[in-house]
Amino acid sequence: MKLKNAVALGVTLSAVVTGAAFADTIRVGVIAPFSGPFALYGTQYEQAIAAYQAKHGTSVGEHEIEFIFRDSGGINPDLSRSLAQELLIRDQVDYLAGFTFTPNALAVAPLITQSETPTVIFNAATSSINRDSEFFLRTSFTLWQVSAPIADWAYDQGIRTVITTVADYGPGIDAENGFTAAFEARGGEVIDAVRMPLSTTDFTPFLQSVRAAEPDAVFVFVPGGPTTFAYTRTYNENGLREAGIEFLGTAETEESNLQALGDAAIGLNTAYHYSAAHDSDMNREFLAAIAEMDDPAAVNWASVGAYDGVHLIYEMIEAAGSDGPAAVEHALGLEWESPRGPLVMDPESRTVIQNVYHRVVQRNEETGLLENFETGIIATVGDLGWDQ
């Protein structure tokens, strides 16, 4: 942005911020995909917000809270940026939220820094985002946060040699680094690191090579949906399980596509911060609230990320109204109970410190549905990728 424009924008934005301080309606702009292949995220955010508001009302103190939704489609940083600009200037929002994809979040960093707008990330999981603006707060997770604990778990199970197989794109490489660093720190050995093209449809060649190398386990990171489906099928059909090569993953068994994976998914090991099968009254209440919606979407980490994000926004509004810097100040170090377990907003990395659970896929005998059964907590950690 040219300097002149930047100054002009800065002046407009600060006028907006001071103006809004006297309003008793506080607006929150939610930028997320509401159309296209990733529209499910938008629905999940919308329903989580509705569930929170059904329980806690639509006002905090004297402030009425209004959510404004904007569709960013898929990965589209330019659109994300212009939507944020429009929300800040025309709709005079005091908070931003949403952000499914890392590039979309990075694109708004200069805007929120200038306008001092607290921005709660519901999903985007690359560690480095929060470095770009101190107004980013994240209620989801980072890739390091979940891929390092699965390495610890594997080592504790006696697994010493691993081959990593990740999709060749940013998040895959983050996951590979996180896993390898933690596993090697414990004394394990990563004997091969395979990066698979994102367009891969047939994983047989990769998994046959893994099988031939006979490691104790294979670590995987692939995007959810069709890719995960093909990968897990291939893992089973080529007899890696029978050969004693354990499956180590993170989000692969997420709830929106879990039933479609079928029996092939049973027994897969993952480490993650949220399972819809988490055993707590608060989680059951959350699931029940979503189930009451018209056409309820599957509840997974994106739903709980949004639910906690709204909680954080309510807390900030209660403490600081529309004063951005004071709101962020209040958020740092904040502790609360979430459907996924206890959370603390890490004052340094501004990502939540949370339990990472080891889960194994099982068929629930009562409902007949597949679920991620949590066997225990591996670690309670913040963003392990922050210092990398």
Partner 1 sequence: MGLFLNIVVDGVAYGMILFMIAVGLSVTMGLMRVVNLAHGGFAMIGGALAHVFGTQMGLGFGLTLLLALAGTIAIALPLERVIYRRVYGFGELQQVLATIGLTFLMIATVNWWLGSTLLAVAMPEILNQSVDLGFRTLPAHRIAVIGLGLSVTLGLWILIDRTRFGVRLRAAVDNRAIASAHGINTDRIYMITFGLGAGLAALGGIMGAELLPIDAYYPLRYMVLFLIVVAVGGMGSILGSFLAAIGLGLLETATRYLVPDLSTITFFALVIALLAMRPQGLLGRE
Exactly one of 3, 5, 22, 37 binds partner 1 (CB under 8 A); that residue is 37
Footprint of partner 1 on residues 205-244 (CB under 8 A)? 205-206, 208-209, 212, 225-226, 229-230, 233, 237-239
Query: Does residue 71 touch partner 1 according to CB under 8 A?
Result: no
Query: Does residue 158 touch partner 1 according to CB under 8 A?
Result: no
- Binding range to partner 1, per CB under 8 A, among 201-209, 334-342, 361-369, 376-384: 201-209
Binding mask 264-303 for partner 1 (x = CB under 8 A): ----------------------------------x-----
Contact 29, 93 (CB under 8 A): yes
Which is nearer to partner 1, 287 or 353 (by Cβ)?
287
Beta strands in the chain (DSSP E): 25-32, 59-60, 63-71, 95-98, 119-121, 136-138, 161-167, 189-196, 217-221, 246-249, 269-272, 335-338, 341-345, 352-363, 370-381
Helix or strand or coil: residue 8? helix
User: How far is 124 from 38, CA to CA, in rounded Å?
Assistant: 13
- β-bridge partners, 196: 167
Binding mask 356-385 for partner 1 (x = CB under 8 A): ------------------------------
Q: At 191, which amino acid appears?
A: I
* Nearest-approach distance from CB 30 to partner 1, in angstroms: 19
* Nearest-approach distance from CB 12 to partner 1, in angstroms: 38
Report how far apart, in Å, the C-alpha atoms of 247 and of each of 75, 181, 215, 271, 360 are.
29, 18, 11, 11, 10
**Continuous segment of H or E residues that includes residue 328:** helix 324-331
Point out which residues bind partner 1 (CB under 8 A): 37-40, 168, 194-197, 199-202, 204-206, 208-209, 212, 225-226, 229-230, 233, 237-239, 256-257, 259-262, 298
